[in-house]
Structure 1
Amino acid sequence: MDFKTAFKPLTVQPQEIEGISFNMIDSEFGEHTFTENQYKVVQRVVHASADFELGHSLLFHEKAIEAGVKAILNGEQVYADVQMILGGVSKGRIEKHGGGVHVFISDPDVMEEAKRLNTTRAIISVRKAIQQFDGGIYAIGNAPTALLELIRLIKEGMAKPSLVIGLPVGFVSAPESKEELAKLDVPFITNVGRKGGSTVTVAALNAISLLAEKA
């Protein structure tokens, strides 16, 4: 086979590629019980991961979409557990309403306190976030320990997030942390199982900001 001539790239505009991708997702996703706006989040998660199983595993608190849109329109802040989320999120749609996206995992005071207490930086960064934010959106895609700490703080009445996007990936504590989140009566977006990650957390957050843009 002549590899120089066998492949012909698809020569369409980026927005057309996204439209084609979403049409393919719709045709392959199958039956579901998501609401219209929940499915918009699911679409973007599947688009980011090419994983239909992950899409079907998503769980939504009944007020998750409404709470997330309201938080963005009210200029509330977004806390992210790792820099990868900061790099991927469409910050302009959040900042135009007065909000911002914040990551504390590499702050010197966080690293120093984590070392002093012999614990993870993810845990300390969540503690720092609740001291700085009243409400806000917590986007956790990498560190189950961050999500478990946030859940503890919510249960103790120390944290009152507007929305928790809890989609950490992994084998140790990731499935369990999401199970615990799904038991809380706070607005959340999460999923069942080990799958997740920063990329799909970004996708979910971007979907919420797009819904806010259209509100």
Structure 2
Amino acid sequence: MAVVKRTVHPIEAESYRILRAEADTTGLPPHTRDVVERVIHTTADPAWQDDLVTDEEALTAGVKALAANNPLVTDVTMVAAGVTAYPATCLVAATATADLASREGLTRSAAGIRRAAKAHPDGAIWVIGNAPTALTELIRLAAAGEVRPALVIGLPVGYVGAAESKAALRQTTLPQLSNRSARGGAAVAAAAVNALLYGDPLA
């Protein structure tokens, strides 16, 4: 069931009809199908269906966390901006984050995640759509018992560390969504969250 009820624009509805003609998602579990289709819709790329690594139980936990108004934390402001109808925490641009990054030799994205973990140690939805270092830091914090996510959406992008950080995520027992390749990005990560918020737009 969708967390947010909304009016679906005819263009979006037609886009979904087209993508369903190009990609057969009928055999996927409900939340998995929602995420796969929303990412394909966002990118106009059906190849995402074979790249995403999903877990229906984890996605269901994410939907429940959103329905309970649990915190949503992102690594960069572009991800937060892409999530509609739900507030997000992003500390990457804060002065205290820059200070921590300089002091500890971290990227600002990783420093923002470290600071956010202190504010939201339990039950948050963590969305990494840009920086592999942010995902690596979140994995480290979880291994140390400093953060216990409801769901980790790990879709950072880049030639350095992106695929590796997502592979590392898949080696954990964290409830998660990821993809195998180096691609990803803010739009894709936000699309995954919106899928859990909205559900099937043609339902």
Normalised to the residue count of structure 1, the TM-score between the two structures is 0.84
Partner residue of 1:121? 108
Q: Measure the CA separation in 1 of the matches of 2:155 and 2:11.
A: 26
- Structure with max Cα Rg: 1
Report % sequence identity: 37
Q: Is the 8 A contact 2:155 2:184 kept in 1?
A: yes
Instruction: Specify whether residues 78 and 195 from structure 1 end up closer, same or farther in structure 2 by C-alpha distance, changes over 3 A only.
Output: same
* Residue in 2 that maps onto 1:6: none
Q: Does 1:80 align with 2:80?
A: no
Q: Tell me, yes or no, if structure 1 residue 17 matches structure 2 residue 5.
A: no
Structure 1 position 26 matched with structure 2 position 14: no
Higher relative helix content: 1
Q: Deviations over 1:170-212 (max 9, x none)?
A: 1100001111111221211111111110001010001111149
Whole-angstrom CA distance in 2 between matches of 1:118 and 1:152: 15
Q: How many residues align?
A: 192
What one-letter code is carried by the residue in structure 2 that aligns with 1:119?
Answer: L
How big is the shift at 1:22? 0.6
Give the equivalent residue in structure 2 for 1:7.
none
Give the letter for the 1:82 counterpart: V
Structure 1 segments (4+ residues) deviating >4 Å: none
* AA aligned opposite 2:140: R
CA contact (8 A) 2:167 2:180 kept: yes
Superposition pairs of residues 45-84 of structure 1, within 5 angstroms: 45-84=39-78
Query: Residues 31 and 56 of structure 2 are in contact (CA less than 8 Å); yes or no, is this contact kept in structure 1?
Result: no
Contact 1:122 1:143 in 2 (8 A): yes
TM-score, reference length from structure 2: 0.89
Residue 147 of structure 1 pairs with residue 147 of structure 2:
no
| Deviation sequence 1:34-80 (CA, Å, 0-9, x none) | 31221111111011111111232111134222111111111110001
Secondary structure at 1:109 match in 2: helix
What do the CA deviations read for 1:91-134 (whole angstroms, capped 9, x no partner)? x3x3xxxxx31110010000011112222111111111110012
Structure 2 spans left out of the alignment, 5+ residues: 1-7
| Alignment RMSD | 1.7
